[in-house]
Amino acid sequence: MAELLPLITKSLAPYLDRRVWWLAFSGGLDSQVLLHLVWRLREDARSSNTPFPEIRAIHVNHQLQAASAAWAVQCEQQCAVYHIPFTLKVVTVSGRRRGVEDLARDARYREFETALDSGDLLLLAHHLDDQAETLLLRLLRGAGVNGLAAMPASRALGAGELCRPLLATPRAALEAYAAAQQLTWLDDPSNFDTHYRRNFLRQRVLPLFAQHWPDYRQSFGRAAALQAEAAQLLHGYINQDLAGMCADDGSLDLRALALLPDIRQRAILRQFIINRSELALSSAQLETIAAQFLQSSADRQPAFRLAAGVLLRAYNQHLFCETAVAETSSPLPSELAWDLNSELLIPGVGRLVATRGGVFVPTEPVLIRFRQGGERCRLAGHAHHRPLKKLLQEWRLPPWQREVLPLIYCGGELAAVADLAVCDGFSAAVGEEGWKIRWVPEALT
């Protein structure tokens, strides 16, 4: 249909300043139409000598069909016709606890995320029929407002962003465009296998919807858009709550949280974990976490392990969500030299950064060590040495962070404790410029 070109021109106009547009190209009808449309946009720009982003295609071979390697070859040949660089990614889909559809999607998006550099745009050919199917599938799973928002038209992805410029367009419009342009495409036979939930909806259920509600796609699309608006408003309110309940170290004050109604507690907990780890929780997980951390005594330090190496841990009535840095398989180095002029990366632990304009003044070459026990420090401006153990307790540093806290030594003497304190004898005098130390642990941000 002729109107698809102006539609996609308008949809992609905000992204013309991007360096690269990646196009997720499966070779099926949807991505063939999108590839052809984007190619036409580029050709129009070239004919008018107008700058245009570089277009690249990326194809993910999930190795789930015998013909998948041949499909990849055909996709590459199609891209060569349009003079569009082609990238092939081959993945292995494995796992037992989730369906093959979800596992393949996760593998595919990991490859997309890896491909994108800062500011790059990934174009996906999802359309209005896909959105209707997604909404119904999530409704059948009992999803809340976030899930029922279905697929967003755009969102961040790794260092870049993804965009679905055809999301409001029904598949019938894509079919008509493909016929008018005499496009050919690949048909994956698995798309007709009703063993898969989405295919069952597409082949068996939604045709019945169409008989009684011909405009169901548009209705579902509007419903998803309304849920997305509601979710955005809800996130704003919850993040306002979080801003007043989170400490400088990013932990959540459980005492303040416990004063709120249960429904608000769960909403804040869910958003706190999403903000810190990008992990979405099931209702069952959320109930367990709320019970474990909000109903435990003040002297307990419960822990709850999530996916991707993320741990929830409580200390001093604060909830921390971070990677298990203390459980790194590599032992901590006994000693590291640091010249302060460059960042010091400690793999699996974090990094140290020094900039001018601080109060730390090293008297000899700087060495980095970690706690062995028995360390003592006389803080700048204090009269007596004190055990480091006691200081860390007073500073309320969680126990699992103390073991990986870098200690800064000069001439065999403890000179500073990461970015927490400078010891006596290593502090800048009035008018003297020293170094400002910043310790960035390898945790979730």
Asked if residue 11 belongs to a known ligand binding site, the reply is: no
pLDDT in tens, 6-62: 999 999 999 999 999 999 999 999 999 999 999 999 999 999 999 999 999 999 999
pLDDT at 334: 87
Checking if the pLDDT of 70 tops 60, the result is: yes
Buried b (16+ CB within 10 A) or exposed e, 63-99: eeeeeeeebbeebbebbeebebebeebebebeeeeee
Checking if the pLDDT of 327 tops 80, the result is: no
DSSP 366-423: EEEE---S--EE-BTT-SS-EEHHHHHHHTT--HHHHTT--EEEETTEEEEETTTEEB
The Cα–Cα gap between 441 and 445 comes to 10
Asked if residue 297 belongs to a known ligand binding site, the reply is: no
Strand pairing class (160-163; 121-123): parallel
Asked if residue 7 belongs to a known ligand binding site, the reply is: no
Mean per-residue pLDDT over the chain, rounded: 90
Q: What does the block give as tokens for 78?
A: 């199609």
| Element housing 50 (H / E) | none
pLDDT at 279: 82
Asked if residue 35 belongs to a known ligand binding site, the reply is: no
Selected residue with higher pLDDT from 323 and 127: 127
pLDDT at 73: 96
pLDDT at 330: 62
The Cα–Cα gap between 321 and 387 comes to 28
Predicted confidence band of residue 95 (pLDDT cuts 50, 70, 90) = low
pLDDT at 298: 61
Predicted confidence band of residue 297 (pLDDT cuts 50, 70, 90) = low
The Cα–Cα gap between 30 and 127 comes to 8
Task: State the amino acid at position 193 in one-letter form.
Answer: D
Domains of the chain: 4-225 (3.40.50.620), 246-323 (1.20.59.20), 336-441 (no CATH)
The Cα–Cα gap between 237 and 214 comes to 37
Region 109-132 average pLDDT: 96
Checking if the pLDDT of 175 tops 80, the result is: yes
Asked if residue 28 belongs to a known ligand binding site, the reply is: yes
pLDDT at 52: 97
Task: Provide φ and ψ at 22, rounded to 5°.
Answer: -90, 140
Using alpha carbons only, how large is the chain's radius of gyration in Å? 28
pLDDT at 296: 66
pLDDT at 324: 59
pLDDT in tens, 244-263: 999 888 899 999 999 999 99
pLDDT at 261: 92
Region 192-196 average pLDDT: 86
Checking if the pLDDT of 326 tops 80, the result is: no
Checking if the pLDDT of 325 tops 70, the result is: no
Contacts of 98 (CB under 8 A, 6+ apart): none
The Cα–Cα gap between 250 and 273 comes to 11
pLDDT at 2: 47
Task: Provide φ and ψ at 160, rounded to 5°.
Answer: -120, -145
Asked if residue 342 belongs to a known ligand binding site, the reply is: no
Contact 314, 254 (CB under 8 A): yes
Most confident of 85-89, 193-197, 299-303: 85-89
pLDDT at 444: 46
pLDDT at 353: 94
Of the candidates 136, 296, 302, the one whose C-alpha atom is nearest the C-alpha of residue 206 is: 136
- Starting at the edge strand found earlier in the chain, the sheet holding 160-163 runs 86-90, 54-61, 20-24, 121-123, 160-163, 154-157
Region 216-232 average pLDDT: 95
